[in-house]
């Protein structure tokens, strides 16, 4: 069994999903595995820092015959540990579907419509498309309605993603990490683009 298959199987033992369909479980499994990969990068960075500190400590010992660092400890909490602590404090823990949440997204609350607005990468199947920047809204952060597309890049490597937004009057202003046809990949971008959604509240249906 591969490492990825192991974590996908273990995913069934985590707190319940709001939607237990197989497609939803598969999507959350990929998101969860992506999180574990990110956690691995943080853990690796900690180990690099510890190595440098140990080298400096040893060098100091050679030059000055004493070691200023007596002990180095580090810890990176696991998802299970985080969930366990929340449950001990009486907080309900569950997983729910947020469109495009396997990539960076941004949510703003609009007191006029009393809705949460989400700018995100549009979903195709279980994966987000980096070149298609979308807008959705929700009354409770659980049920999401697609409002429309904000922007679409001219090619797969021309992303419109990792966006941040703000509500100003009747409009939404969005800044996106983007690329054109010269971009190396959909992730490695070469542009920042600005977008405006006029009269966004009229998108509610």
List, for residues 80-131, the tens digit of each pLDDT value.
787 788 888 988 777 677 888 878 999 999 999 999 999 999 987 767 789 9
How would residue 9 be classed by pLDDT, with cut points 50, 70 and 90? low
Angle between helices 22-64 and 79-88 (to 10 degrees): 110
pTM for this model (two decimals): 0.64
pLDDT tens track for 128-142? 789 999 999 999 998
List, in order, residues 6 or more apart from 1 with CB less than 8 Å away.
9
- Given this model, what pLDDT does residue 14 score? 54
* Sequence-ordered alpha helix ranges (H) in 14-120: 22-64, 79-88
SS3 195: strand
pLDDT tens track for 187-203? 999 999 999 999 999 99
- Given this model, what pLDDT does residue 1 score? 53
- Given this model, what pLDDT does residue 28 score? 66
Side-by-side strand order, sheet with 191-197: 160-168, 171-178, 191-197
Residue 18 clears pLDDT 90, i.e. is over it: no
C-alpha–C-alpha distance, residues 201 and 130, integer Å: 25
How would residue 157 be classed by pLDDT, with cut points 50, 70 and 90? very high
How would residue 205 be classed by pLDDT, with cut points 50, 70 and 90? very high
SS3 30: helix
- Given this model, what pLDDT does residue 81 score? 80
Residue 155 clears pLDDT 90, i.e. is over it: yes
- Given this model, what pLDDT does residue 2 score? 56
pLDDT tens track for 25-82? 676 676 677 777 778 888 999 999 999 999 999 999 999 998 899 889 888 887 778 7
């Amino acid at each position: 069994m591969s490492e990825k298959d192991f974590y996908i199987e273990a995913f069934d033992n985590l707190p319940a999903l709001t939607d237990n369909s197989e497609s939803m479980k598969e999507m959350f499994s990929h998101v969860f595995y992506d999180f574990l990969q990110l956690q691995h990068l943080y853990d690796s960075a900690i180990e690099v820092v510890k190595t440098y500190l140990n080298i400096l400590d040893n060098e100091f010992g050679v030059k000055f015959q004493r070691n200023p660092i007596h002990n180095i400890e580090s810890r990176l909490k696991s998802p299970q540990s985080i969930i366990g602590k929340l449950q001990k404090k009486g907080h309900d823990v569950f997983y729910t579907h947020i469109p495009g949440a396997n990539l960076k997204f941004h949510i703003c609350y609009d007191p006029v419509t009393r809705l949460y607005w989400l700018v995100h990468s549009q979903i195709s199947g279980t994966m987000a498309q980096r070149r298609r920047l979308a807008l959705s809204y929700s009354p409770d952060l659980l049920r999401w309605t697609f409002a429309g597309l904000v922007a679409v890049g001219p090619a797969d490597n021309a992303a419109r993603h990792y966006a941040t937004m703000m509500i100003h009057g009747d409009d939404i202003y969005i800044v996106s990490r983007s690329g054109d046809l010269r971009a190396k990949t959909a992730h490695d971008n070469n542009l920042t683009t600005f977008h405006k959604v006029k009269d966004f509240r009229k998108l509610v249906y």
